[in-house]
Chain A
């Protein structure tokens, strides 16, 4: 059984927001007992066990309590209720270069910062050269830090933090520092930490970064932990919460509520046919293998979009249209039944037309299905339902991006020259599972 490195036990954190802060004695006396304030619970009863060697990503919107949780883990803030038990040496990077003293040289600051992170002088002596090399500051190390550029400043900060040999590394959105090359270097170091079996807890706004680095993901929303599990599932929940936040802003459009755990409710259309619209869509049903069990589709599963219609008169010229578009409204695929050379002979009355996509290849996100009926040739538009249904997709893989192309990795090795003797003719084929 893995040992627990960080154990967050029922942690709640309350911030008292005073409408007017009285810090002087006079004001305190004048306003005794009636300082107006509102309580803000930044964290509510968070329970989280981080095992040794785990990399945990924390996702959440702005103000969801991510940074507060990290600060509690680091010990910068003390929880109002509950406690955090930390086993091993913890290095927190809440802000790079915090505690640098501008008047001191880089060298002196390394010693100061190292001891802030709990290192003895001997320990700093041992890693000193590594720090300087990592920060790439060899020629400037004896200059005062106040003459450093901001890039040099954060490089030194990161270099100290990752070289203090921590068991647990806590990072708060600081990986976006320096130029791209240095960022890669930082991420490489983080990966190296993972390989060495160290524990990493980091906060990120970027689901893609979390997906590619973390083994476990925690999603916070308004101080509550709403997800704790594998990256795929957690990122999906995170996006769901993001969308909910968006819905609040666009409350007028969001008429139907998606019950958690259930399939998205189909759109019921009450419009009737008339002379201009002899055939209309009454219902749109996206169906995937998980329909009824989970509210989302897993990348690669088939998707069937069923359009129920009502027709006032028989027609052979109606062509059904299905558009699939992404979050930003970009149409990913526009298809019509006539483009597919399917000519439908519709009788008067009701019925349904299904579009079956053999494999839905998109990575995680929320996809919109817009449907319509047009006259063949595109002359008339009998009906159009913009955003008639949504399909939520969960990406179970580590891949990030837009689309899951079927892919396989192969390794072919030639017999090498030199002293190193490989297994002759070795050929490894790795099938990458989606």
Chain B
């Protein structure tokens, strides 16, 4: 019996962490808890991806196939039917979509994350933010697959992105992920109390917000001339997704300067704004600052609401 007590992992004498269960746990303490549970995020993400393609014949191939097919459809639609004259428009479109899809997938799935995992929330204790963050995590994995498809497309079309500016991608990714996390945490919590949020978000993020970003159209060509006439370009930049999308487009599409349209004899137009890389860095930094503040507020709201999740569900 003495052997038992001395056995490794006997529960005695190791360093023990203290945890407080209370209706008021400060944001830094909760961040520490989330960090301790990071393994759970990884497992939830891998679960979601595994389950998603579990019983399909092609399995994980779908995660590459599905964006590739979407992109092909876009290429056909905008290349044949709805010609806007932008050269290699499909690349411009896809570079914006890359960033946008991460945001949309993360936010839409995170909104229902708590509600859809009611069984877990009611019976197991873990930082609930994890569920929202796992949505961002799996969206990031799908982002990675889409990026692979993007690379394949660039290679197939012999398109040269701005290799010298590739470092701008991580610069845009950081505010993108922080902003997604903030939205995810906020919406996941609010949706528990107000289930309308789910439907509202599908409309807002799914369409309105999408068209507010320069993805299917060019900022420099369409938006900038009209808004600058009234000196209200800044309004367009209240949308945190705008600088991020534009950074992606700058790096991947890379057609700066005047570009001749393919539709005919019109004068060449500006598709990307004539900015240096520093302007993008500044804009992304501003988004990052705002997103961090929003993330903190979202955590505050989440903390206030999280205490009653198990009862509300």
Q: Name A's B-contacting residues (CB within 8 A).
A: 15-16, 23-26, 28, 71-90, 92, 94-95, 98-99, 101, 103-104, 108, 111-112, 115-121, 165-167, 192-193, 195-198
Contact = CB atoms under 8 A, between A and B. Distances in A.
A73 B21 CA distance: 7
Contact of A167 (B5, B16, B23, B121): B16
B31 to A, nearest CB: 16
Contacts of B123: 76, 94-95, 98-99
Given A75-B125, A196-B11, A87 B43 contact: no
B269 interface: no
Interface stretch (B162-170, B172-180, B192-200, B210-218): B192-200
B107 interface: no
B311 to A, nearest CB: 6
A235 B55 CA distance: 53
B51 A103 contact: yes
B21 A24 contact: no
6 contacts: A76-B122, A76-B124, A78-B21, A78-B308, A99-B124, A193-B11
Contacts of B16: 87-89, 167
Contact of B20 (A83, A120, A195): A83
A340 B37 CA distance: 73
Contacts of B54: 103
A85 B20 contact: yes
Given A94-B123, A101-B51, A77 B5 contact: no
A86 B196 contact: no
Interface string B1-36: 100110101111000111111110000000000001
A33 to B, nearest CB: 16
B307 A78 contact: yes
B39 A24 contact: no
A112 B47 contact: yes
Contacts of B7: 196
Given A83-B21, A98-B120, A99-B123, A115 B39 contact: yes
Contact of B22 (A84, A88, A108, A192): A84
A306 B304 CA distance: 63
A214 B236 CA distance: 66
Contacts of A16: 311
Nearest to B55: A103
B220 interface: no
A192 B120 CA distance: 28
Contacts of A120: 39
B39 A192 contact: no
B261 interface: no
Contact of A115 (B21, B40, B194, B307): B40
Contacts of B268: none
B192 to A, nearest CB: 9
Contacts of B37: 115, 118
B50 interface: yes
B11 A85 contact: no
B123 to A, nearest CB: 4
A84 B20 contact: yes
Given A28-B194, A77-B307, A119 B21 contact: no
A174 to B, nearest CB: 11
A430 B39 CA distance: 51
B4 A192 contact: yes
Nearest to B194: A25
A220 B194 CA distance: 35
Contacts of B126: 116, 118
B44 interface: yes
B171 interface: no
Interface centre among B122, B123, B195, by most chain A C-beta atoms within 10 angstroms, is B123
Interface of B: 1, 4-5, 7, 9-12, 16-23, 36-37, 39-40, 42-44, 47, 50-51, 54-55, 119-126, 193-196, 306-308, 310-311
A146 B17 CA distance: 35
B22 A98 contact: no
B194 A108 contact: no
A264 B103 CA distance: 72
A72 B122 CA distance: 11
A101 B122 CA distance: 15
B11 A101 contact: no
A74 B20 contact: no
A344 B306 CA distance: 75
A127 B43 CA distance: 17
A24 B195 contact: yes
Contacts of B311: 15-16, 77
A116 B22 contact: no
A101 B40 CA distance: 14
Contact of A78 (B40, B119, B122, B306): B306
Which 5 pairs of residues, A with B, have the shortest CB-CB distance?
Answer: A83-B22, A78-B307, A98-B123, A75-B125, A88-B16
Interface centre among B18, B39, B42, by most chain A C-beta atoms within 10 angstroms, is B39
A260 B54 CA distance: 63
Given A77-B307, A84-B20, A103-B55, 18 more contacts: A23-B193, A24-B195, A76-B123, A76-B124, A76-B310, A78-B21, A81-B23, A83-B20, A86-B19, A88-B17, A90-B125, A92-B125, A104-B50, A112-B43, A116-B120, A116-B126, A117-B124, A195-B5
Contact of B43 (A80, A88, A94, A115): A115
Interface centre among B21, B50, B122, B193, by most chain A C-beta atoms within 10 angstroms, is B21
Contacts of B51: 101, 103-104
Contact of B119 (A26, A84, A98, A121): A98
Contact of A111 (B9, B18, B43, B195): B43
Contacts of A165: 9, 11
Interface centre among A24, A78, A108, A121, by most chain B C-beta atoms within 10 angstroms, is A78
Given A71-B310, A78-B307, A112-B44, A23 B195 contact: yes
A105 B310 CA distance: 27
Nearest to B312: A23
A167 B11 contact: yes
B17 to A, nearest CB: 7
Nearest to A122: B39
B194 A24 contact: yes
Interface centre among A28, A73, A75, A87, by most chain B C-beta atoms within 10 angstroms, is A75
Given A99-B119, A103-B54, A118-B36, A195 B22 contact: no
Nearest to B308: A78
B127 to A, nearest CB: 9
A195 B50 contact: no
Contacts of A86: 18-21
Contacts of A87: 16-19
